[in-house]
Amino acid sequence: MTMNQARFGLLAIFVLCLAAQLIAFFAAGHRMWPEELQSLVLKLLAVYSVHLTVILGGIFAQPRGPLEDPPSDIAWTAIALALMWNGLLIWRSLSFSVADQDSVVDLTKYLDNIASASSFLVTGALAFFFTKATQTAKNVSIE
């Protein structure tokens, strides 16, 4: 797997999971007050904001030249960890959207607590894949 494939794979995981949760909230919006829906959307955006900032910043600030490809097992591990972190969030959001009785307050607490407690699963991988230097920049020596 190339560096760009891994990077765009991670981007796709985060964006698709965020979008799926937003869709679930809007689909269940008729069962809550507008302020509660707004609160959930804002909480979800806050949870994803740092991760997506690192990803998008790394993509837009990508240096010119080829990126060094990561070992395949590292790329697949990063993707698995990203799926695990997003899975911890998305399952609760989706279950909220189909539940007959659930609380916006409980979901907000869950998102807040689980996102912060489990972010260790993805922060290292995102730092590795989105702050990586190019091959040529690593080989330049200062004389």
Domain boundaries, the chain: 3-139
| Angstrom distance (rounded) from CA 122 to CA 65 | 26
| Angstrom distance (rounded) from CA 79 to CA 99 | 29
Q: State mean pLDDT over 52-71.
A: 84
Q: Residue 4's pLDDT is what?
A: 86
Q: What DSSP string describes 73-97?
A: HHHHHHHHHHHHHHHHHHHHHHHHH
Res 48 pLDDT > 50 = yes
- Residue 14, amino acid: F
Q: Residue 125's pLDDT is what?
A: 92
Q: State mean pLDDT over 122-140.
A: 70
pLDDT band at residue 62 under the 50/70/90 scheme: confident
| Residue 22: partners with Cβ closer than 8 Å, 6 or more residues away | 41, 44
pTM surpassing 0.75? yes
| Angstrom distance (rounded) from CA 94 to CA 128 | 30
Q: Residue 107's pLDDT is what?
A: 96
3 state DSSP class of 67: strand
Q: Residue 137's pLDDT is what?
A: 43
